Structure 1
Amino acid sequence: MAFFDDYLSRIDEPEHREQMKEVLAWVTNKFPHLQPKIAWNQPMFTDHDTYIIGFSASKQHLAIAPEQAGMEPFWDEIIREKLDHTKGLVRFKWGRSLDYSLLERMIQFNIQDKSDCSTFWRK
């Protein structure tokens, strides 16, 4: 987790910082083979140098970004659960519990779907 310390130190609200730290630690523990990375000032995880999942913090929410193709298998669930989203990310209001089951499935999907990918982003 020390890898993300500099990023976490820039999140002003202690509660937001702790929630982001918890999410990053969860991914690190659940998927120890993924490599942590900071790019575009955001924490993310890669597998064989291809993007798997990224996170961002704003004043209002924590966002998870699995790429649009990494969200498509989960559209029905995202809509049914009324999760705030765009084509490429799902936003969780600070303090709201994160759907770790959904996050795990998105990460697993991207790992499998991008197993032969040789670029950072899908083409």
Structure 2
Amino acid sequence: MANLNEFTEKISNPDQRQRLNDLFNWIKGSFPQLETVIKWNQPMFTDHGTFIIGFSVSKKHMSVAPETATLAAFKEDIEKAGYEHTDNIFKITWAQEIDFALLKKIIDYNIQEKIDYTKFWRE
């Protein structure tokens, strides 16, 4: 899988596919400096080669992976948005609205926190 189109084309539900396309287009428009990569069959956005945020999908939800440190920093905001979470991801059900303001804060945070980072993941 080389790009976002190939990833989203594999989603059989057209509403879910459109929702992801809208999300990815929003990220690309809001953060044009981020590079889109597909690793481990998941779309990810990177900045100067370091991971910023990643996504995966299931039948009931999309998972958002901002890294454990970032999830911990935004845990209260994620809970206020009504999203379930683990230590590594939070889930947005297909019936829930995407909190774009929250995603913007999370992405901005990772970009700023990892501005001088040279590895893909945090240690």
Normalised by the length of structure 1, the TM-score is 0.94
Corresponding position of 1:10: 10
**8 Å CA contact 2:66, 2:106 repeated in 1:** yes
**Which amino acid is 1:54 matched to?**
G
Corresponding position of 2:101: 101
Corresponding position of 1:68: 68
**8 Å CA contact 2:81, 2:99 repeated in 1:** no
**Which amino acid is 2:83 matched to?**
L
Provide the C-alpha distance between the structure 1 equivalents of 2:82 and 2:8, rounded to a whole number of angstroms.
28
Corresponding position of 1:56: 56
Q: Which runs of 4+ in 1 moved over 6 A?
A: none
Q: Which runs of 5+ in 1 are unaligned?
A: none
Provide the C-alpha distance between the structure 2 equivalents of 1:39 and 1:81, rounded to a whole number of angstroms.
28
Corresponding position of 2:116: 116
Corresponding position of 2:86: 86
Shift of 1:95: 3.2
Normalised by the length of structure 2, the TM-score is 0.94
**Which amino acid is 1:63 matched to?**
S
Shift of 1:80: 3.2
* Structure 1 vs Structure 2 CA RMSD: 1.3
Provide the C-alpha distance between the structure 1 equivalents of 2:101 and 2:82, rounded to a whole number of angstroms.
16
Corresponding position of 2:25: 25
Q: Which range moves more in the overlay, 70-79 or 110-119? A: 70-79
- Report the 3-state secondary structure (helix = DSSP H, G, I; strand = E; otherwise coil) of the residue aligned with 1:52: strand
- Report the 3-state secondary structure (helix = DSSP H, G, I; strand = E; otherwise coil) of the residue aligned with 2:122: coil
Q: Which runs of 5+ in 2 are unaligned?
A: none
Query: In percent, how many aligned pairs have the same letter?
Result: 39
Shift of 1:62: 1.0
- Report the 3-state secondary structure (helix = DSSP H, G, I; strand = E; otherwise coil) of the residue aligned with 2:121: coil
Shift of 1:34: 0.3
Provide the C-alpha distance between the structure 2 equivalents of 1:105 and 1:79, rounded to a whole number of angstroms.
15
- Report the 3-state secondary structure (helix = DSSP H, G, I; strand = E; otherwise coil) of the residue aligned with 2:12: coil
